[in-house]
Amino acid sequence: MNYTVHPSAIIDDGASIGDGCRIWHFVHVCAGAVIGAEVSLGQNVFVGNKVCIGNQCKIQNNVSVYDNVVLEDGVFCGPSMVFTNVYNPRSLIERKSEYRDTLVKRGATLGANCTIVCGVTIGAFAFVGAGAVVNKDVPAYALMVGVPAKQIGWMSEFGEQLELPLRGEGSQRCPYSGASYVLVDNKLEKVEAK
């Protein structure tokens, strides 16, 4: 076992956990979960059977990652944020066959207390603000806030807002990392230095 587990945590037999993970108080990881290397699971985190978590993700306190959620490498899940997996749940109606897939791409940030309604894709390095409710796909690098979430800007991979229009064309360097970003056809891309 090449990871750290608090004695109060429950790791079901069969769970796959990568090297260097830190699993804190009262965490429950189900048997079918696949967790990459150097992942931090904060206090009271639940990870379902049909969940895949990439390397270097940080899942803060009180987050439940339910079945059919995939987090790519470097995803940040803020405290008490919420994933769902059934779009129209009822206690009296069995809907486990209706789970919708949710994909959170590399480097995205999901702010504290936000809700991700199932069936969406959050683009790479997108930033969902605290308390937002996401009910549709989010473009890469988009800054999303509100209920329902609306795009109000663009974010660098460093996590700083870029001064670019929402639509159209433009370019800017991240003031902290120096990386260049180009907006073309309403999509933002990082431009690799040559």
Q: What value does the mean pLDDT take over residues 93-121?
A: 97
C-alpha span between 67 and 86 (Å, rounded):
10
- Architecture of the 4-86+97-159 domain: 3 Solenoid (2.160)
Give Cα 125 distance to the centre of its chain: 9
For the chain, the average pLDDT equals 96
pLDDT digits over 15-69, tens only?
999 999 999 999 999 999 999 999 999 999 999 999 999 999 999 999 999 999 9
C-alpha span between 89 and 160 (Å, rounded):
37
Q: Structure pTM? A: 0.96
Which of 52, 56, 24 minimizes the C-alpha distance to 38? 56
pLDDT digits over 181-193, tens only?
999 999 999 997 6
Query: Both tokens of residue 76?
Result: 């940040």
Distance from the first to the final alpha carbon of the chain: 42
